[in-house]
Amino acid sequence: MSQIVVFAEAAQLLTLDGGPITARGGAAQGELGLIERGSAVVRDGFFSWVGPHAALDLRALAAEPGASLEVHECRGKVVMPGLIDSHTHLVWGGDRKDELEARLGGADYEQIFAAGGGILSSVRQTRARDEDQLHAEAIRRALRMRRCGTTTFEIKSGYGLDLETELRQLRVARRLRDADGLRVVATCLAAHALPAERRGPGGRESYLHELCASILPAIAAERLAEFADVFCDRGAFSEHESRTILRRAQELGFRLRVHANELGPTGGARLAAELRAASADHLLHIDDDDRRALRGAGVVATLLPGTSLVLKKPYADGRALIDAGVPVAVATDCNPGSCAIESLALVLALACHGNRLSPAEAICAVTHNAAASLGLAHRVGRLAPGLAADLLLLATDDYRDLVYHAGSPLIAAVFQGGERVA
């Protein structure tokens, strides 16, 4: 029996369709494909028709032999694609609430890290947990995020910094996908920081060797991640070191993402362009030459305004990126220290108030452009025939309320593959 689900007569249907399937920059990023009084038809989990409600023949659908018809009345609501969080560190152990209080008291992120806190604190706690414990913590976070509208998750490792724990983190990410039914893309971020035990003489060189000779090949052999990432910044890995790691990752078949230019103009953005990475993330410290390089290489600029809020750092200039033609995505950076914010809907609003995106541009940033940065634009991120029916119903008749009433509980329902999941 065919299952037909209709989302009928929405006040606004945001299709994000009609533009290029590649990530969109410039004026195209603000085009939402908005249909007033629009409807969408889903067959067996995929969109089969999207258009004006007046063109929909519900009687014909109801009369189809062997079909089960379900209709969701959407008058007075917005229907839009599910949110795609293209930068998270969702699998970790423990918490760093003590650092929150220290930061609120004036301590700087880099000072906390230099004193053995920050990433290294999470590494200690993550290494101490087995797979089941890590999974139990991660699924609770993921389900909260889904209630806030996220239907696709990129998940990085990087709190292991050794082979065993990196594998364990990525196996949990796979378990969230295969056993729990979440839509997950995994990224190896073993090059997140230098582990504490490698901070003596010769340790840096030995860890770089282990990354390239052991950790990345083992993850590739188990097919645990589609992407590899590196933290190219002060206190982490230099541009030269990052290039070595990323080129090795490319040899092993990984696509690339880069933590770039968060703490200073440290070359990560240009490196992402040089290697044609799928995404360069953070980008607080870039100039016109960096923007031209990113645009020319087709790199998506992924902005993380929640981290700027929590760390009291400047916001990346999203307006300059879009005006320069660079496609922009927005993500939570959900992690145990610098930003534990789980609501991508809230971060969408921060992208407007902090990064100077318009509401329409921000919606494209957390749907189509995020999907494109993950290689998923042919599957999710738009309401279009043939794509998976991941969508949200908003308890408002105007999508701009996501920004105007930032943080309000406007998400009335979350659907993945046409099934209500939150």
Q: What is the pLDDT of residue 314?
A: 96
- Tell me how crowded residue 321 is: count the other CB atoms within 10 A of its CB: 27
Residue 107 pLDDT = 75
156, 148, 153, 162: which is closest to 120 by C-alpha? 162
At 62, the pLDDT band (50, 70, 90 cuts) reads confident
Q: Which of these ranges, 48-62, 97-111, 204-218, has the smallest mean pLDDT? A: 97-111
pLDDT at site 111: 73
Average of per-residue pLDDT across 360-389: 98
For residue range 296-315, list pLDDT tens digits in order.
Answer: 999 999 999 999 999 999 99
Alpha helices per DSSP H over 26-149: 58-62, 97-104, 109-114, 119-127, 131-147
Strand partners, 184: 153
Angular region, 132: left φ>0, alpha ψ -120 to 50, beta rest: alpha
Of 30-34, 45-49, 56-60, 79-83, minimum mean pLDDT range: 56-60
Q: What is the pLDDT of residues 12-40, one digit of tens each?
A: 999 999 888 999 999 999 999 999 999 99
Q: What is the pLDDT of residue 116?
A: 65
Q: What is the DSSP string of 177-200?
A: HHTT--EEEEEEEEETS--GGG-S
Contact 379, 371 (CB under 8 A): yes
pLDDT tens-digit map of 246-267: 999 999 999 999 999 999 999 9
- Quick one: pLDDT at residue 117? 74
Q: Which domains does the chain have, with CATH numbers?
A: 2-82+381-420 (2.30.40.10), 83-373 (3.20.20.140)
H-run or E-run covering 83: strand 83-85
Kindly tell me if the per-residue pLDDT of 222 is higher than 90: yes
Strands 227-232 and 46-52: what pairing?
Answer: unpaired
- Amino acid 231: pLDDT: 98
